[in-house]
Amino acid sequence: MRTFIAIDINSEVRSIAEEVIEKLKKMGFKASWTSPENLHLTLFFMGDLSEEKVDLLAQRLHKRLAGFPSFSYEVSDFGFFRFKHLPRVFFLKVTQDKILQTLYLEMRSELKKLRLSFDDKGNFVPHITLGRLKFSPENWEELIKGITVPKTIVSVDKVTIYSSTLTPAGPIYKWLYKVKFEGGLEKNEQ
């Protein structure tokens, strides 16, 4: 199953994301927009893993992250990744801080020990993807200058392992495990 590890967002960030997506649509941007229930901060995308590997991964992360301190991250702005002269991905910026970076590095080390392959570009840029662009209006840079995002704090006390099933209507995400820093491991039995 296609698998990734993410940090969930809160309802406040979800509302902000929905407002920003609506503004972008009205401006004429066309994209594969992320549906509100699928918004998250991706830590690792691992591709296809067997159920046994996912179970092992959950157990190992549970051990590694037990006692990791709860923390908060800040959603602070709107941004984009560019390809040539056009935006390719719109996102909400997440302020990089030491605790989030430490969490990423701890988990990365565990994935390497398990010899799991994952999308590793070597530079972790935390963000919440709003959409992958298909079309941008000519004056796109001027248009997006007006997009503002209120600073919002998101509390984190766990990471979630998800499966992603691709469908013509878009991906369907299902949580498989919630790895809690205070020492709990919750499995989705459905």
Segment 85-121, tens digit of pLDDT: 899 999 999 997 899 999 999 999 999 999 988 877 6
Looking at the annotation, which residues are catalytic? Answer: 40, 127
pLDDT tens string 38-68: 999 999 998 899 999 999 999 999 999 999 9
pTM passes above 0.85: yes
CA distance 56 to 43: 18
User: Residue 122 has what pLDDT?
Assistant: 65
Which of these, 94, 81, 93, lies nearest to 136 by C-alpha position? 81
Q: Which helix or strand (DSSP H or E) is residue 101 part of?
A: helix 98-113
Q: Closest Cα to residue 153, out of 76, 90, 51?
A: 76
Q: Note the pLDDT tens digit of each residue in 127-183.
A: 999 999 999 999 999 999 989 999 999 999 999 999 999 888 778 899 999 999 988
- Predicted local distance difference test score (pLDDT) of residue 121: 64
Domain boundaries of the chain, sorted by first residue:
2-187
The CATH H-level (homologous superfamily) assignment of domain 2-187 is: Cyclic phosphodiesterase (3.90.1140.10)
If DSSP codes are grouped into helix, strand and coil, which group holds residue 155?
A: strand
DSSP 38-60: G-EEEEEEEEE--HHHHHHHHHH
Mean pLDDT confidence for 122-131: 88
Rounded to 5 degrees, what are φ and ψ at 136? -125, 135
Contacts made by residues 80-84, CB under 8 angstroms, sequence distance 24+: 80/144
